[in-house]
Amino acid sequence: TQRDQLSKQNKSISESILYAKRIQSAVLPPAAYINELLPENFILFKPRDEVSGDFYWIRQINQYIVIAVADCTGHGVPGAIMSMLGISFLNEIIQKREVTQANQALNELRKQIKQALRQTGKKGEADDGIDMALCALDSKTKILHYAGANNSIYLILNGELTEIKADRMPIGYYPNEKPTFTNHEIQLKDGDVFYLFSDGFMDQFGGKKGFKYKASNFQQILFENHGRPMVIQMELLEQELSNWMKGYEQTDDILVMGVRV
């Protein structure tokens, strides 16, 4: 019957997506590797669907620990396919070619993504792209080099939350793009905390009135808890999210990463 056929089709789609999820999980850096490089960290990662358009990428290159948190256009399968492109290009640019200057890495990545998607700016082309925060932490000097494509970062320095703003352009074609991303350098010291994230947490609908969570609330919860152990911070974020979402579907992929130097 038609119903049996449908349920067969559904089963086969679910199985193939589950398999895609296994592949996607396998290309994310393993927790043990991350904890070795950054003993005090947390990663809150909640894909909206089985597979995700958000991803994180971490490698040690000489004295730099390079961290990327990214959000590809869309979620689910299209987002996941873009994320695989992003991950493989980061491997090539940063791991193989050892480009550790943050803005240079984003410039190169943009070039590669545009070539791969054949984006020249003509009408009707794919306007897919990636939003990304990319940090290179110099493990010797504790200087944090950051460049961002639509994805800012938050730092907590001397008891204050500071937002280092991203360039307002994605990694991909953009009519008002600047020729280069901006490099920011921030001198950190032991005990300082910084956060990278996609927009999923603050764009989540919920609460009593069904509004977005908003950046101001997100900043507040990070700031209020920044002194606590990273594991606890993550638990509190999860708790906050599930309280906020009560009765609402998850809007987008959610990714938040915290690092204490």
Is residue 60 in some structural domain?
Answer: yes
Residue 16 within a domain: no
d(CA 238, CA 220): 15
Residue 197 lies in a domain: yes
Domain assignment present for 98: yes
CA–chain centroid gap for 53, Å, is 9
> Is 175 within the bounds of a domain?
yes
Mean pLDDT estimate for the chain: 94
Q: Output 126 or 50, whichever has higher pLDDT.
A: 50
Cα–Cα dist 134/255, whole Å: 14
- Would you state the pLDDT for residue 121? 79
Q: For 95-121, how does the pLDDT look when each residue is reduced to its tens digit (9 = 90+)?
A: 999 999 999 999 999 999 999 988 887
Q: Is the pLDDT of residue 241 over 80?
A: yes
* pTM of the entire predicted model: 0.93
Residue matched to tokens 């240079």: 104
Q: Which domain holds residue 196?
A: 39-260
More confident residue, 26 or 9: 26
**Beta strands at 193-197 and 205-206: parallel, antiparallel or unpaired:** unpaired
CATH number at residue 135: 3.60.40.10
Q: Distance (Å, rounded) from C-alpha 95 to C-alpha 23?
A: 20
Q: Is residue 166 part of a domain?
A: yes
251 located within any domain? yes
- Tens digits of per-residue pLDDT, 196-233? 999 999 999 999 999 999 999 999 999 999 999 999 99
The share of the chain scoring above pLDDT 70, in percent, equals 99
Phi first, then psi, for residue 177 (nearest 5°) are: -75, 150
Q: Which residues of 63-84 are buried (b: 16+ CB within 10 A; e: fewer)?
A: ebbbbbbbbbbebbbebbbbbb
Domain count, the chain: 1
DSSP E strand stretches across the chain: 41-46, 54-61, 64-72, 130-138, 143-149, 153-157, 160-164, 184-187, 193-197, 205-206, 211-212, 254-260
pLDDT at 43: 98
In a domain, 142, yes or no: yes
